[in-house]
Structure 1
Amino acid sequence: MNIVIIGSGNIATHYAKAFQQLGNQISEVYSKTSANANALAEVVSAQSVDDLSQISEEADLYIIAVSDQAIEPVVNKLPSRLEGTVVHTSGATPLEMLHRFKKHGVIYPPQSLSKDIETDLSTIPFAVEANTPEVEQKLLEIAQAISPKSFLCNSQQRMALHVAAVFVNNFSNALYQVAFDLLERENLDFELIRPIILETANKVRYQEPSAVQTGPAIRGDKQTLDSHLEFLSHDEHLAQIYQNLTALIIKTR
């Protein structure tokens, strides 16, 4: 299969490497920054392109792996006559964004990927969607060649998956930083709570999160909750976050 990668960042890099390792030809890599296009193109033995009007029209698959806000400008610059399948990799961008193309779809990885960190893509359940059953089945086969966990979904399900990923990844990481700052303020090392982070993550590998919820909120321990809020009184914003999350937990009791 002949593939054009549009983008040179984290997802583009992982996709380009994965598809090449499966025996596909990465014919071109596009980036508006020539140096970035060159860097990834060299890794996967492809031609680099920094002008979308120069993109080959002979590829079997075009993978748009750019930031969400950059998808529409890229789509508008690509020729609508492309015969190959055009996909994007976004969790939150509607399938309809690609309606200009005869065959189009989505291959979305609900995972935080960094191009400088090796990741086993076979463990990621890629979400696949397309404009026709035929294209959908073809894209599913393509995704399952990388990860057997890949599955079909609709746009609403893909949005739910993306929002859920933000909660468990971006929001939880922001809370880790809150914890880091609180400990640092008292001259304590973040290493002290790494074990509890890992233990909680391990528990939810096998159980529903509500089944392993612990802490003063789930116990209805008002005395401890009040003590915590007193400790956080130096920062009204953090105290409000604490109260909101406490209320969320109490609702599950």
Structure 2
Amino acid sequence: MQRIVIVGSGNLAEALAQAVARSGLDLVQLFARNPQRGPEVARLAGTAWTADPQQLAEADVYLLCVSDRAVAEVAASLPVPTGAVVAHTAGSVPIDALKRFPLRAVFYPLQTFTRGRAVDFRQIPLFLECSTPALREPLEAFARQLSDTVLFADSAQRARLHLAGVFACNFANALYGAGAAILRDAGLGFDLLKPLIAETAAKACDAASPADVQTGPAVRGDRPTLERHARMLSGQPDLAAIYETISHYIWEISKRT
């Protein structure tokens, strides 16, 4: 598993293409239908680009870096040579989405990716699944050329990982945005929250469980502060509902620990 084709031109494709190019693997091509992003991502990784399925290069592994809903459709359109491994990178898509390929796999990096932002792939946990036991060893050897943390997880476990990631990353980031908006309404800048965000994340990573380092009015059962905050959010029903729900969750969790 040395010759690699990456399919897609989104944020993950950009990061993974560059990681493959920096490794000892051979990135032979980027296949992407987007005529703007495809050549751009290929240039960043120093490889060839095509949008024509008939020009798809021969490779040992085809990594599908496309949206969850596009995995099956894109896979069906690829004239992959016999004997090649086809792997998707989606967290919540079962391996059977690639059932037309005898050698199919999942290659799921548990990380958030943003266009133009460099990541160290060696630090990213990679979760693998494969269609046959014979594929397990070579797939793991391939993955270890990109990451120091490689684990096998079936589709059910990977769905849980994806769900946990949504809470820990997507929801947390949306709440950072809510905090920034509250400050903006007061004529203050988001930079004021950055030390708090950094320390909160550092404490959670250092603790055995994030619940062990939970702080704030909800964990203390500070009803006057909770009610004051609720009044401040009375004109923003969505944020008020989020505040109430999460505060209740924090209080309930605190009673169990």
Q: TM-score, structure 1 length as denominator?
A: 0.94
Paired position in structure 2 for 1:3: 4
1:179 is paired with a residue whose SS is helix
Other-structure match for 2:214: 213
State whether residues 81 and 101 of structure 1, in contact with CA within 8 Å, keep that contact through their aligned partners in structure 2.
Answer: no
The 3 A distance-change label for structure 1 pair 41 and 231 is: closer
Do the aligned residues in 1 keep the contact of 2:32 with 2:51 (CA within 8 Å)? yes
In structure 2, the residue matched to 1:172 is 172
Distance 1:234 1:16 in 2: 46
Structure 2: distance between partners of 1:40 and 1:24: 17
**Alignment-derived partner of residue 194 in structure 1:** 194
Q: Which moved more, 1:146-155 or 1:27-36?
A: 27-36
Letter in 1 for 2:50: V
Q: How far apart, CA to CA, are the structure 2 residues paired with 1:233 and 1:41?
A: 49
Match of 1:104?
104
RMSD (Å) for aligned C-alpha atoms: 1.6
Identical amino acids, percent of aligned pairs: 36
Where in structure 1 do 4 or more consecutive aligned residues deviate above 6 Å?
Answer: none
Distance apart, 1:150 and its partner CA: 1.5
**Matches of 1:115 and 1:229, distance apart in 2:** 37
TM-score, scaled to structure 2: 0.92
AA aligned to 1:60 is D
Contact 2:234 2:240 survives alignment (8 Å): yes
In the TM superposition, 1:51-90 aligns within 5 A as 51-56=52-57, 58-79=58-79, 82-90=82-90
Equivalent position of 1:41 in the other structure = 42
The structural deviation recorded for 1:54 is: 3.1
What does residue 127 of structure 2 align with?
A: 127
Aligned-pair CA distance for 1:236: 1.6
The number of equivalent residue pairs is 252
The answer on 1:14 being equivalent to 2:23 is no
Determine the C-alpha separation between the residues in 2 that align with 1:109 and 1:51. Answer: 27
Indicate yes or no: 2:237 matched with 1:236. Answer: yes
Q: Which runs of 5+ in 1 are unaligned?
A: none
Question: Measured at CA, do residues 189 and 16 of structure 1 come closer, stay the same or move farther in structure 2, by a change above 3 Å?
Answer: closer
SS of equivalent to 1:46: coil
